[in-house]
Amino acid sequence: MKYLSVKEIAEKWGINERRVRVLLQEKRIEGAIYQDHKYLIPENASKPLDRRIKGQRCFEDSPLNTIDFDFKNYRKLYPSEDGYFGRYGGSFLPPNLQKAFDEIYAGYLTIAKSAKFISELRDIRKHYQGRPTPVYHCQNLSNYFGKVQIYLKREDLNHGGAHKLNNAMGQALLAKYLGKKKLIAETGAGSHGSAVAMAAAYFGLECDIYMGEVDIEKQAPNVARIKVLGANVIPVSFGSRTLKEAVDAAFEAYQKEYKTAFYCLGSAVGPHPYPLMVRDFQEIIGREAKEQFVEMTGELPDIVCACVGGGSNAIGMFEAFLDEPVNIVGIEPMGKGKEIGNNAATISFGKEQILHGFNSLVLQNEDGSPATAYSIASGLDYPGVGPEHAFLHEIGRVKYETVTDDEAAEAFFLLSRLEGIIPAIESAHALAYAIKCAKNMKSGSVLVNLSGRGDKDMDFMIKKYPHMFK
């Protein structure tokens, strides 16, 4: 029998060599032998089928096994003209502010959909942001657990070190077209604050960033960054002094300045049209990732996952896979435990409520007031969630799982040590889920959206987990 090398078989099957090696490690190429430190593959071996074509699923309770929904037309149908994903979303604002949001929506539908705007944004993404960001196969981490292949979509390599700039540049460009002079934004982890400060510098706009005092202390490197970039950091000192209150304060400031300022919302939350706009500006993540993954491996991933705060990196990643035979999982922060006040797992424990001008799931106290959310990750520490996630959960297309502070911390240090990549503690939640899959599944691939890099978290993590740091 004639045998071919890995290189020759990769060429024959039209996939890359790394993918052939993965198939060999998974023992999915019949008749292959390992001899004199190299693999030999029978010339007539057939290319293994995509697992899903063979009908295998990673989860027995996969939504794909039961769901009956027209995802081909999903983007056209959701959100509705008035901003609803099923019963979630909408806009609940005082009349004067509603007028400002209507102006933004009209601008979005006309300006942001024009060829000129799209071409300018495309140019910014390529030359300023450095897109496309790569998909990376974590060979060491995958080998460490042995069975499952873990891949990262490297949004940490997007300029600024997180996915947030995809949305900030889009909204700031729209603000420029609308003739606004200032950007107003909230921030939790400081990633969105830095991104908006960068966008303001790029477009020559003034910039006010509202940030809770607790987060100012936790995320000091990002606070310094925002200031160096020429923006104002306005500390928020009421309530739990974290992301929810930062949104409250930014909204209040915008109410006073909406004629000359633009509210640059950082997640797929808020009144219509923000969940739609943010999704559309972040969608580049999933579109790139899908193409890159297929190019790299010859098939789709078994699982795609991302952390969910308000839900922007996750929705940006998920959108391209909704219509594909792929299990999609959003990861919520379980923090210190299940009791209200100890986590920010809104989809797992929230109830329907209007918060910050939109209807979605919200963590609530017994009296129905919004509860204080908690997570080690400032960027996930929000008691609400984007309406599209509440909807995708309700129809069963996306599964939402949880990861604790400590599990995320373990993933944070493991990726740093094994791959030389320090993840944002937010992104480490999604990675921790992939690690759980690697421990529990027999085979398969998990594509994680690595939404940001962890430089901002290092001081805090070293102090909080000294035993893991040694």
Ligand X SMILES: Cc1ncc(COP(=O)(O)O)c(C=O)c1O
Output the six-digit token pair for 122: 């495309």
Asked if residue 312 binds ligand X (CB under 6 A), the reply is yes
Q: How far is 147 from 444, CA to CA, in rounded Å?
A: 7
Output the six-digit token pair for 404: 């604790």
Asked if residue 91 binds ligand X (CB under 6 A), the reply is no
State the angle between helix axes of 6-13 and 17-25 in degrees (0 to 180), rounded to the nearest 10. 110
- One of 309, 333, 335, 383 touching ligand X (CB under 6 A): 309
Asked if residue 292 binds ligand X (CB under 6 A), the reply is no
DSSP state of 309: S
- One of 32, 162, 197, 334 touching ligand X (CB under 6 A): 162
Q: Which is nearer to ligand X, 364 or 375 (CB)?
A: 375
CB 125 within 8 A of CB 421: no
Residues 375-394, mask of contacts with ligand X (x by CB under 6 A): ----xx--------------
Residue of 37, 58, 127, 138 marked active site: 138
CB proximity list for 462: less than 8 A, separation 6 or greater: 469
Q: Which is nearer to ligand X, 154 or 192 (CB)?
A: 192
**Cα angle 279, 281, 283; round to 5:** 60
Q: Minimal distance in Å, beta carbon 376 to ligand X?
A: 13
CB 221 within 8 A of CB 456: yes
Q: Which is nearer to ligand X, 265 or 414 (CB)?
A: 265
Q: How far is 168 from 151, CA to CA, in rounded Å?
A: 26
Q: Which is nearer to ligand X, 132 or 423 (CB)?
A: 423
Give the helix ranges, DSSP H, for 94-219.
95-110, 115-127, 139-145, 164-177, 191-203, 213-218
Q: Which is nearer to ligand X, 195 or 303 (CB)?
A: 195
Q: In the annotation, is 163 catalytic? A: yes
Sheet holding 148-154, edge to edge: 135-137, 148-154, 444-450, 303-307, 327-335, 398-404
Q: Minimal distance in Å, beta carbon 175 to ligand X?
A: 19
Q: How far is 53 from 51, CA to CA, in rounded Å?
A: 5
Residues 122-161, mask of contacts with ligand X (x by CB under 6 A): ----------------------------------------
Q: Which is nearer to ligand X, 19 or 399 (CB)?
A: 399
Q: Which is nearer to ligand X, 107 or 452 (CB)?
A: 452
- One of 158, 171, 267, 292 touching ligand X (CB under 6 A): 267
- One of 307, 422, 428, 432 touching ligand X (CB under 6 A): 307
Asked if residue 313 binds ligand X (CB under 6 A), the reply is yes
User: 137 pairs with which residues across the strands?
Assistant: 151
- One of 63, 370, 384, 452 touching ligand X (CB under 6 A): 452
Q: In the annotation, is 138 catalytic? A: yes
- One of 4, 10, 15, 189 touching ligand X (CB under 6 A): 189
Asked if residue 83 binds ligand X (CB under 6 A), the reply is no
CB 465 within 8 A of CB 445: no
Residue of 37, 127, 137, 163 marked active site: 163
Output the six-digit token pair for 185: 């934004």
* Interacting residues with ligand X between 322 and 381 (CB under 6 A): 379-380
Q: How far is 69 from 443, CA to CA, in rounded Å?
A: 28
| Backbone region of residue 132 per phi and psi (left: phi > 0; alpha: psi in -120 to 50; beta: other values) | beta
Phi, psi of 254 (to 5 degrees): -65, -35
Output the six-digit token pair for 41: 């593959």
Q: Which is nearer to ligand X, 308 or 390 (CB)?
A: 308
Number of residues that bind ligand X (CB under 6 A): 21
Asked if residue 194 binds ligand X (CB under 6 A), the reply is no
Piece of 110-118, 145-153, 185-193, 409-417 that binds ligand X (CB under 6 A): 185-193
Site of interaction with ligand X (CB under 6 A): 162, 188-189, 191-192, 267, 307-314, 379-380, 424, 426-427, 451-452
Active site residues: 138, 163
